[in-house]
Chains A and B, each alone.
Chain A
Amino acid sequence: MIQLFRVSKSFGTSKALQDINLRIRKGEFVFVTGPSGAGKTTLLRLIFGTEPPTEGQILIRGINLNRIRRTSLDLLRRRMGFVFQDFKLLSRKTVFQNVAIALEVTGERPAIVRKKTHQALKAVGLSKKEELFPLQLSGGEQQRVAIARAVVNDPLILIADEPTGNLDPDITRDIMILFRSINLRGTTVIIATHSQELMKDTEQRIILLKEGRMLRER
């Protein structure tokens, strides 16, 4: 599903990632962890195609991101969901509109957009808050809206960057249950976190990064 060959990424003279080799299979649940500045977010952005690697190759479902055309990358992103650390919700749009936007860009019929959006919001437990605006929601609820938007297209890959960063333990647990249920439906899930608590007792694969290098895997 995802393959990285000798991938490095530099920002000016600063090396964010160095010589990363990685293979993630379809349906895997992977944690990417490490201290702040280890390169977790950069790794996710490279996989999502929002940053090009300085060196190396990245293949998503056999497609080389170095050679992909801009339009093809747009189409590929429709099969990938990204939950951002800062949620990236539009404050002028309602919860429903924020989620529906991911379907509207695909040119889906309005009736299907409505149906799938309702389903996604029901799955994250926000059915009753569809008409509210993001700023009327708690941090945990905003996070769930971001997750609903990321999964509304039934993506093959779901990427989440510190999805429980500022949330209390109860909400963190709920959100992790949500990610596991999405993974059980066959979606490959990659979560970047520096929270050891989140990975405690987990059977899932963990990739540890430090100073831009992959230290070990479990």
Chain B
Amino acid sequence: MGLRNWAYYSKHAFINIFGNRLVHAISIGTIASSLILFGSFILLFYNLNHWMLEWGQSLSMSVYLQDEIDQKTKARIESLLKNLPSAELKEYISKDRAMEDLIDGLGVHSGLLEGLKENPLPASFEIIFKDVNIRQLDPQGMKEEIEKIEGVQEVQYSEEWLDRLEGLVYVLKVAGFIIAGFLCLAVLFITTNTIKLTIYSRRDEVEILKLVGATDWFVKMPFLIEGAIQGLVGGVIALSTISLLFLLFSMDKVHIIGLPVLEIVFLPMAHLAFIILLGLILGLIGSFIAVGRFFDA
């Protein structure tokens, strides 16, 4: 297939598109809408994964100490905790500091604590396990081990709610895959039917091309290119819309009670390229099905 033929195919694909502007505009619009939904799902999952990774990589553990321990025991516990794999001893929170934090946290309701005769809160060491795979750590086993150390009252870690979040993300992912599958089918259906319409509107030309000796591929190629262009343009429009909406409506961080908790990130280059490529491939497959059906008939 020479360069000359490609020039012919592309020229005729564009002539076909401009000749059936309205049908193609509707088709491209529908493809773009489907891909916007699809892209939004990818953006959501990408951010959920990003947050989970961030949290997963900074598993935190609070090691609560018994009240009556002496300095020597405390130092020994501190030393043991520092030697845990990937552990970073963030800080020591004394009983008094724990009470101050609680009073700050309760704010106007701190009066509730006034009746207390003594401070019931334990001192604690706050540990963070950074840049590690949470699954390799076995926090439950570690918790049990640390609780055996003399002077340690209790250990709490941040994995339980992470497990629950992971479960939620998994459900969302499955739902997302199903929805994405339907969206892909919708795009295929739209492209197939649009190309089928354009083939039928030009069937006299197809017939004459065959009668003057055109090969099947010579006739098919402009329609395939037409489908690919539809998908490509739909993909580019979808991506531009998602980018624009992201710029207009997103905040840098999600705030909870005024504190920045989650950083919102945009899709990386590979994901963006995937959306455009998906549009192109779906357009191509759709037109492939349409021309295949036409030629079989």
Contacts and interface: CB of A to CB of B under 8 A. Distances in A.
A132 interface: no
A198 B283 CA distance: 53
A74 B4 contact: no
Interface in A24-49: none
A90 B211 contact: no
Contacts of A90: 204-205, 208
B22 interface: no
Contacts of B208: 88, 90, 101
A105 B2 contact: no
Given A104-B8, A107-B4, A107-B5, A88 B213 contact: no
A101 B209 contact: yes
A78 interface: yes
Interface string A68-83: 0011001111100010
Contact of A71 (B2, B4, B215): B215
**Which bucket holds chain B's interface residue count?**
10 to 19
Nearest to A104: B8
A109 interface: yes
Contact of A75 (B205, B213, B216): B213
Interface residues of A, number: 22
B216 to A, nearest CB: 7
A14 to B, nearest CB: 23
Contacts of A169: none
Given A104-B8, A107-B2, A88 B216 contact: no
A50 interface: yes
B150 interface: no
Contacts of B2: 107
B120 to A, nearest CB: 89
- Scoring A78, A88, A104 by chain B CB atoms within 10 A of each residue's CB, the highest score goes to A104
B211 A106 contact: no
A100 to B, nearest CB: 10
A101 B4 contact: no
A156 to B, nearest CB: 13
Interface in A59-96: 70-71, 74-78, 82, 88, 90, 92
Given A90-B204, A90-B205, A105-B218, A77 B212 contact: yes
B207 interface: yes
A74 B205 contact: no
Contact of A88 (B4, B8, B19, B211): B211
Contact of A78 (B5, B207, B212, B216): B212
